[in-house]
Amino acid sequence: MIIYGTNGAHVRTTPLPADAACPGCATSGTMQLSVFSRYALIYWIPLFPYSKPAVLQCGHCQQAWEEKNVPSELREPARALKKGTRAPLWHWSGLGVLAALIGWGAIASSQDARANAAYLDAPHVGDIYTVREKDGERNYSLLKVVSVKGPTVDVVPNEFQINNNHPIDELNAPAKYSKESFALSKFELQIMKNKGQLTDVDRLEE
Ligand SMILES: [Zn+2]
């Protein structure tokens, strides 16, 4: 269950220009505007601010006006003060974390792609290829490199398929591989990768 909601916080209270007079008691220089920020929450983490309610109050007679009721002669200075008041950055922290995670994911996946290309280019005994059949639900399996001869590798296929694009955790046990190996050239491996049939390369032992 995702827990979400909204909350509000006082941002700042600023005096209106000294010539602004209170519409209630006519005192000048006592008007002040309080600006609040309302923000969305997810799991108690502020996600983003979505509105900035403001309240105008007279420090002398204590009368207060919500934004929509602010008398017309004070509307413009109140609006200017509100415009100059920003929601604090921490009201954005959820979106900030999300953006950082997405950026980190993009970096990690491009590093993984570079490592895969390097491994395919210079195969080692023990490299494990994740391969994917075109159809069917349980369509991921493994090929394990058992020898490298120049531009060709010998691989043994795993005898199992699962419906998980990271089958290595479940399938990489010696007993689960066939005893019969077959040869693949680096060129063929490259074609399999380009076609999306070879989706990952893992090198467990260095
Ligand atoms: Zn007043």
Phi, psi for residue 107 in degrees, rounded to 5: -65, -45
Cα 174 to ligand 1 centroid, rounded to whole Å: 84
Cα 29 to ligand 1 centroid, rounded to whole Å: 10
> What are 106's two structure tokens?
């993009």
The protein residues having their C-beta less than 5 angstroms from ligand 1 (an ion) are 22, 24-25, 58, 60-61
Cα 18 to ligand 1 centroid, rounded to whole Å: 13
Name the CATH architecture for the domain at 110-202.
Roll (2.30)
Cα 55 to ligand 1 centroid, rounded to whole Å: 14
pLDDT, position 165? 87
Strand order in the sheet with 152-157: 182-185, 152-157, 140-149, 128-132, 198-202
CATH 2.30.30-classified regions of the chain: 110-202
- pLDDT by residue for the chain (206 residues), tens digit each? 678 888 999 999 999 999 999 999 999 999 999 999 999 998 888 999 999 999 999 999 999 999 999 999 999 999 999 999 999 998 999 888 889 999 999 999 898 889 889 999 999 999 999 999 877 667 899 999 999 998 999 999 999 999 988 999 999 999 999 999 999 999 999 999 998 899 999 998 65
pLDDT, position 45? 87
Which of 119, 12, 24, 2 shows the shortest CA–CA distance to 70? 24
Q: How far apart are CA 20 and CA 83, in angstroms?
A: 18
pLDDT, position 4? 84
pLDDT, position 3? 80
Phi, psi for residue 162 in degrees, rounded to 5: -135, 165
- pTM of the complete model: 0.57
Contact in structure between 149 and 170 (CB atoms under 8 Å): no
Which of 53, 65, 54, 79 shows the shortest CA–CA distance to 23? 65
